[in-house]
Structure 1
Amino acid sequence: MQGEQWKKLEKVFGGYKLIAAFKPGFSTCRTRTRLTQVAFDLAEERLVTVDSKGNGYIVELSNEYPVYKKLGPVGLSSFIAFNPFQNDEILVGLSSTDIKVFNLKKKSSFLLSGHISVPNEISFYKNYALTTSSKEAIIWDLKSCLKMHQLKLHSTNISLKRSAVSTLGQVAVLYSNDIIQIWKFKKFDSDTRVDMKSFGLHNVKDFNFTKDGKTMILSAFWNKILVLSTSTWKPIKIIQLPENLIGVKRIAILPTPLDGGSNHIIAILSSHMIPHFLDLNTSCFIDISIKEVQLLSGIKKLCISMSGLYIACIENNGDLILIKTEKLLPTKSVSKEYVQLKKIGKRKLKPHCTEDHLRGIQQSIKKELKLQRLLSILNEFGEYPKKHRSIIWTTVLQLPANRSAYAALANENPREHIRKDMLKDYPLSEQSKAKLLNITIDCLVNWCPLLGQNLFLPRLVFPFLVVFQQNPILAFEAVLCVLCNYCQKWFEYYPLPPLNVLGIVENILLEADPALLNVLCEKGITSTEYAWPLLQTTLSEVLSGDEWMILWDHLWSYGRISLLLMCVVAYNICCREIIISILKTPEDFKKLYTTQGHISVKNLLEIAKRLDHQTPFRIHPSRYFRNKLCFLPTEGPYPPFLMQEYPKFLTDETRIAKFERLKEQNQVLKKHQQHILKESEEKRIHVEAENLRKQIHEARLNELRKCYDEKIRNEEWQLETAWNIVDKNSMSRYECTCKESLNAAKVNDKTDSEKSDAWNRRKCEELQDEVEKLEHEVHTLLETV
């Protein structure tokens, strides 16, 4: 707030008090504004609080006497916290379900959108933040202000009570059914579930990790404190609280000096609204004097600073109590040396702030990395040091790292169908780079929706992302610099290639090497084949990674837009002998301009710089383009893309809406066609399977007939052979001697024929069984097909 003066906190016994402001009502009575949220920064130099009207207050603790001033409106908040990554920013959970990132110095802010219900809690791990509402938990990347992971609840019977991240990267979520689910950070495919009811805890209200992350402390509503080991998730200690201490609402860790992070003192806030301090080692409460008890009565919210130096409490009436822990819980003994040093020191030494240190480093980098000094390095060594290239490019391009503008684009609804269409022919095996490319494409399409129709965009964007892959904001801003500077007049003939730009390239080649251009024309190769593929990829596909970076060291540092076009012409001149003597077909030329060659970037730049100086002004690109780099603004939104470069029928809003509608109809038509093709394919497979089954059945029946015919022929042959063997003389002798034996033989022949018939029937049944078994196998095979 402009003109707001610092005021001293009211001094009370043992501490200080910030009284909430009064505002006159419509009647003679006055309505009181209550403080609702409070938070310390990591350095314990500042405290921020918010009242019930949404006004913020900042308290400066580094002075000998704490002072405060009003920040102005920050919003009705459900939580508030300092951003550990940017100490001048606070994160405010709003009743609108958004999270506001508010800069204390610039008084500017932007929103993080993603929650569907009001977020009520936040915790931090490295440069990540975990926010929780009753229905979801979201992990945010505070560097890029992007949503990294999200846990959603689809059950109406279960809600989220609390979540937190330990310093070891363990994400824990407490559900309303007393189950805690734990994930290891960045390993969310596996989890651990712990049911607190198995340890005798019911209606768990709160939990906290110790500073070393090795222990979790939980509190139940009814008189129990549980200490869990985070390595085994088994109880270390269960403490039964006194019967008069009921309704435990919150617990807070109280760090003490030299405890090594294994914090053993916790503050317990019960329904009596009086904080109690419990020593977990001794399972005993720490006594505090009667005056401190009176001072800390009627407390509804408790906050302890990072190292336990301060305790801030919000009273039931809305006032803020600030007290030093050493006054509340004095140490038993103080060394004489410490007392003497305390008497000698007249003023309090202000600890060194990390952000001040980083700001000083950034300023010194800007002073050291002046463009003239960088150009002398570039002329001397021909390239920048690889490990410092991202810092040098950031300085040369004056990238502002505008987090608020980037977050506004990144948190818009992603256009997944556009991104999938653009990336279907550009797969990446490395997951981190693929994710960064997805995020950048989404931001670019949100920045300029018409870019979603340019399928070459991933090939243009990706090489720059590799340089800035540690910082997605700088990567996105570097791509914006490319689009706003080096892609001038690329879209005047969209969706056709930029014929105007390609015509300039052709004119330069005609001036520099007319014989080479004549060869290209004779072979039917136009500038769409020999120049446009190089421009689309900024020569990244024809140069190795290191040489491409060296090329852009020169392009960024010299800041001449025309130099990129000269490099395209220079590449063709370097490949002159290959083009004239070796390449014959269009496929050969396509391979030349899309695969890595063996052209030295040093030679390429020499030719390009010579062309830039020797090309006449009448055909020089600077006649048509702005030939100096323009930089992104440090504050506010990113500038709109050069919409005037698109054909007018594309930039007209009604035509854009019509184009989007036609595109959606085309997608619906494609899905319908795919459905029809799928049904027809299924019918075709079914008919073919049925025909195959019939063919196999007929083949099996033919085999069976052949078997029967072969069996009959074998039987006839055996009978005929048997009759030939029998001696006719012996048969006549038997006929003469006994007619009765003939009758007996007839009877025996009859029985033999009956046996033969029975054997044939059995064989026939066996064959039928085999046929049925084969038919069943065929039917099973067809079903699997």
Structure 2
Amino acid sequence: MQSTDLGNKESGKIWHRKPSPATRDGIIVNIIHNTSDYHPKVLRFLNVAFDGSGDSLIAGDHQGNIYVFDLYGNRFNLVQRTAQACTALAFNLRRKSEFLVALADYSIKCFDTVTKELVSWMRGHESSVFSISVHASGKYAITTSSDTAQLWDLDTFQRKRKLNIRQSVGIQKVFFLPLSNTILSCFKDNSIFAWECDTLFCKYQLPAPPESSSILYKVFAVTRDGRILAAGGKSNHLHLWCLEATQLFRIIQMPTKVRAIRHLEFLPDSFDAGSNQVLGVLSQDGIMRFVNIQTCKLLFEIGSLDEGISSSVISPHGRYIASIMENGSLNIYSVQALTQEINKPPPPLVKVIEDFPKNKLSSADLKMKVTSGRVQQPAKSRESKIQTRILKQDLTGNFESKENELSDGLNKKRLQILLKGYGEYPTKYRMFIWRSLLQLPENHTAFSSLIDKGTHVAFLNLQKKYPIKSRKLLRVLQRTLSALAHWSVIFSDTPYLPLLAFPFVKLFQNNQLVCFEVVATLIINWCQHWFEYFPNPPINILSMIENVLAFHDKQLLQHFVDHDVTSQLYAWPLLETVFSEVLTREEWLKLFDNVFSNHPSFLLMTVVAYNVCSRAPLLNCNLKDDFEYFFHHRNNLDISVVIREVYRLMETTPTDIHPDSMLDAFVALTKGQYPVFNQYPKFIVDYQTQERERIRNDELDYLRERQTVEDMQAEVDQQRVEDETWYQKQELLRKAEETRRAMLLQEEEKMIQQRQRLAAVKRELKIKEIHLQDAARRRFLKLQQDQREMELRRLDDEIERKNLTRNQEAVAKEMREDADVCRRKVDLEEHMFHKLVETDQSQIQQTQKWKEAEEKEFHLRSEKKAAALSDASRKCFLNQEISAAVEHTANPYNKEAPRFQNEQVASSCLPRTSQLNDISEMDPSAHISLNRRTIEWDTTGQDLIKKVRNLRQRLTAQARNRCQTPGLLAT
């Protein structure tokens, strides 16, 4: 066992010599981490996870250092320092270089192993995350803590859904079922639910287990096909649930030493189509036991009481087991080494197997027991004295003959009956059946020794002759052909070997060991006597095919003979490509289901049947090129008809020409080491090998000499180029120097010209400055003068404005006074008129009393008329005087008054006299009062005439004064 200390290194080799794990423990390497940077000095690994390929794993220690271990490339690298312990890891994301790590601060981070940078940081948990499950597509991830589970979208790193539960019911585990879209949630109350990932619709719930065997589930594991769920807890019982039927179908009892189960994981197998049969059970004693859940055989175990296992992870392809030990180190186990003797008789075990119908099962009916004694490894199996006791045999109780019994419990006769009934094997179990039919030994050590020899020189340039688009497929083909060439030297010179092996390489490209052993078994059994006429085609085999064809279809053979078509054209292309050129993938698989299930002569009969079933198009071919095209391309032919024809030919062909009598029966590859293959003319192969070696040596010598000459020529050319370059550089330097000198002279001349232009510009600027100063001075003086003139005009305007304001105020004051006088005058006249009206009314009343004075009416009428005339004249005169005064006041320069106005006034006054006359005529009794009123009006009229005259004189004087004042202002 090799041990590797990471120390303070950030990268390096995992092992320094090729590991050869022993069958006893199967350990490839033990990895420890001792450093002086931390205290304690020994760093313990906490979590480990494999990537999708299974050839790389990631591990984190309690200080937050995360390493990637490339088991294929034998390298380790420190990809991240998180500075805190990681609680869970996941490395099987869609982007192969990214991984998820759950940290002690309850966060989840995504890092890139190539760039070593942080991709995303996801938060949301409130307690430690102990599980990360990634969907098969790598698009979603489920992180689980004790109180919640969260679904994340790894494309956007956003949380999609969150599963909240009651505090009284904790979560045990939430994970995706492999290769499906179903989420399984397991709780601490033993309830298990299945949910649809996209809609979170509850698909089903598993019922409660029987009370007699009820245990609290703590650990779970699911087969790769998602059909079987294994659950365990603090007990030595294992419960196996069928998820399709949602019922418990088996209970396995582990040995009594197992008191609690800490971890469960199924061991993948490339031939079981996902229905894993081997379950790894890690118990409390630190030992992980691997049990076949069908036979309950304890196959092997890892770990011990002294070196216990804390946790363990199995690679997806089932080649490696990575276990974190209780001392903090990391062990890598080889499953091939642990299962090398798995097909040998197992060590004695005590087992109890009880299987009952699934309709009504009690807990006692479901139990199967595994012996509690420790398994003895194959090296010690001879000394083991543990007895095997089978309590119940198979229900059938019948045993087939040994020659028909195959490994893994299959029967060849039954398989042939199944094949004839359905025409092909189930796709899901085809690889498993092929491995059983061919009885592959799986010699890992022998195959590794062939692979370690490297690529054979005959296939170094394989890609030139066979350009394959897939680099992986080309690499696997090259390794398989190299292993065959190292196994037997004849295969290094076989030109059709790549054509023969390619369909099997494409089918088994993920398992090179099986691919090699299938091709080797095919060569030993179905390619018998092919190499006796090497390097020519197998004439004897082709003769067998021609004899059979002549017996069953003479017309077709005669047609071939007539057109010079030999068996090397109509039979050999089908054999050397094993029908891969003329059949589709599904047809080819169906054909080889029958080939591997029958005698080796079946393949030769298939060639005859293919020609017989294609006789119609072949009889229509007349050109040799048409025949060649027909046997190198796919044709419209039903493979089921061909297979039925093969079985008919196998039964109806006579014994003397039947290939069955000339070919040996099937012989499997030997276990441990591959058999020697020497069925070829050794002297020809040796001669060709020697010639090829001589030619190769000559080519190598020629290549060495040519390389030497080319090196010398290259040195001479390089020296010549260097000299030429030196001379060119010197010439360029000389020209550059001359150019620089000329540029300096030009720059000096430019500098002088610039200085002259600068001086002239300075002078012009000085003159412009003087002119600008002078213009500014004149502009300033003019501005001052304009300002003073504007100030004077402003003062004149102010004086005029004040005078105008004062005159306006005086005129307004006079007008107000005149208006007041006129208003008072009007008021006085109105008052007098009212008094006169009142007097008239009183006089009318008195005249009524003096009715007796009617006789004097004649005398009074005359007087009344005279008084009325005098009053009218007096009133007209008064109105004329008032109008004249007003007109004279408004227009003092108009000294002549229109005469027609007086006439209008006089005319206006006449009606009043008439009115008075009417009144006097109507009221003759008012004669006395009118006389009195006449006297009063005479006195009053005189006073008014005096006042009007005075007013007119005063207004005239004021008007004259106003007219003289503007003249004074104008001067």
Indicate the TM-score class for this superposition, using the shorter chain for normalisation. Answer: 0.3 to 0.5
Structure number with the bigger relative contact order (C-alpha 8 A, sep ≥ 6) is: 1
Give the TM-score normalised by the residue count of structure 2. 0.38
Q: What's the TM-score, normalizing by structure 1? A: 0.46
Larger radius of gyration: 2
